[in-house]
Amino acid sequence: MAKYVNGDTVGTARRRQSSVLAKEDIDYLPVIFGNWDRIEPKDTERLEEVPHYDWKEQWHEPAKSLTEQLRNQLGLVLAGGDSVPSVRADTGVINCMTIFGADYVVPEHTKPVVSEYVPKEDLQQFEVPDDISRMGIMPRMVEHMEHHLAVLKEHGLDGLVSVYHCDQQGPFDIAAQARGHDVFTDMYEDPPFVHDLMAKCTDVYIKVSKLCKKVNGEPLDGGNAVSVWMKNGGVRMCGDSDILMSADQYREFVQKYQEEAFAAFSGGWLHYCGGWIDTGRSEGIHLHEAYSEVEGLRGLNWTTGKDWVAEMRKLKELGIVHIGGLRQEDDEPLEDYLRRVLSPYDKRAGIIFQAMGIQGDAEEIITTWRRLQDEKFGE
C-alpha cells in the first residue's frame, strides 16, 4: 500500500473535497473511483495470496479488519483520482445503541447487528453519563482504532491513510435501533418520550463522535468524515430510519436533534440507505427539502431516485452538495456520461463525484472529467 500512496495526490484530494463542501473556488471538482490497472504484477500475486476474512473474524481481530479495508482502499488509490484513503473501526452500526444496553450478535456474513431492543422503561430511566468510553462496545471500537493507527504509523502511512470515526448512525437511527419499530407508534401515543429519547440519542451521538476524535487526534470541526475530507464540519450522520416518516414528522421529531449533533462539530454531511437503484423507487427524496433546512448540513448522499439529474439540480438550488454519483447507463460513452453528470452545474461546485462502477481507463476518465469542466466552466 505504502508504495502507491502519493502524499501530493492525497493533499490535493483533501483540498478539493473540503473546498467543495466549504463552497470555495477550486481547480477541478473531485472524482472518486476504483481501478486496479496500475498495480504491479508481482503485487497482484502477493495480494491474491492474502486470504479474505468474514465479519466475525474481523470483529475479533482488528488486523483482519484492517487488511480487508486496505484491500478496498488500494483500488481507489491506484485509480489516481481524488479519493482520501482511510479506514475505521469497522464495528458495524451498533456502536451507539450498545451504550443504551441493546444486545447484539456478530455473524459471519454481515456486520454486527442489534438482536434485542431495550425496554421502554429502561430507556426512560437511562441517563447518559459524561464518560461513555467503557460502555457498550466502546472498548472494542477504541481497540480497533488504536490498532489501525499504530500499524499505519509503523508502515509510514500515518498522515496519508487516516482513521476516521466509527459508524455512529444518526440520532433517530440510534433511537429506532434501541427502541425498535415501536418508536414509530410512540410518535402518536407518547411524543414526550420520543423527544426525551431523541435528546439522549443526540447526546450519545456527540459523545461517541468526540471519543473517536480524541483517539485519532482530529479537531472536532474538521478532518475525515467517512472518506470525505472537511474543514467546515467533522462528522457524517446517517438517516436510514428518517426516510420511513413523513416530512412533517421529520421536522417535529428529528430535525432539531440533527442540528444539535452537527453543531457540536461545526457541521457535517448525511447519508441514508433506501431501496435499490434499479427498482425505480425513490425512498427519502421527500425529505430532501427538509434536510436542506438543517443548519450545519453540508452534503447529502442518497441511494435511490427516479430522475437523478433533476434531483442533483434541486440539491444545487437548495445549497446542498451531492456526495455521490450517477449511474452510467449500459453502453453509454464515457464522455456522454460525464457530460450528464456535470449538466446540473453552472460552475465548479455542488458535487463530490463518487463514480463507482464507471467504465474506462483510469487516466482517460480523469483527463476527460477535467477537460469537460474546462470546456463548460472555463479554464
Class of domain 7-377: alpha beta
Q: CB neighbours of 210 closer than 8 A, spacing ≥ 6?
A: 220, 264
Rounded distance between C-alpha atoms, residue 160 and residue 149, angstroms:
11
Tens digit of pLDDT for each residue in 147-186?
A: 999 999 999 999 999 999 999 999 999 999 999 999 999 9
- pLDDT for res 114: 97
pLDDT at 276 over 80: no
- pLDDT for res 274: 78
Alpha helices in 114-237 (DSSP H): 120-125, 138-154, 171-179, 182-189, 191-216
- pLDDT for res 379: 81
Tens digit of pLDDT for each residue in 231-259?
A: 999 999 999 999 999 999 999 999 999 99
Rounded distance between C-alpha atoms, residue 169 and residue 46, angstroms:
36
Calculate what percentage of the chain has a pLDDT beyond 90: 93
* Mean pLDDT score, 66-75: 97
pLDDT at 296 over 90: yes
pLDDT at 341 over 90: yes
The closest of 143, 128, 118, 12 to 66, measured between CA atoms, is: 143
pLDDT at 101 over 70: yes
pLDDT at 280 over 80: no
> Using 50, 70 and 90 to split pLDDT, how confident is the model at 279?
low
Tens digit of pLDDT for each residue in 46-64?
A: 999 999 999 999 999 999 9
Residue 204: other Cβ atoms inside 10 A: 27
Tens digit of pLDDT for each residue in 326-337?
A: 999 999 999 999
Mean pLDDT of the chain: 96
- pLDDT for res 306: 81
Q: What is the DSSP letter of 51?
A: P
Place of cell 402518536: 188
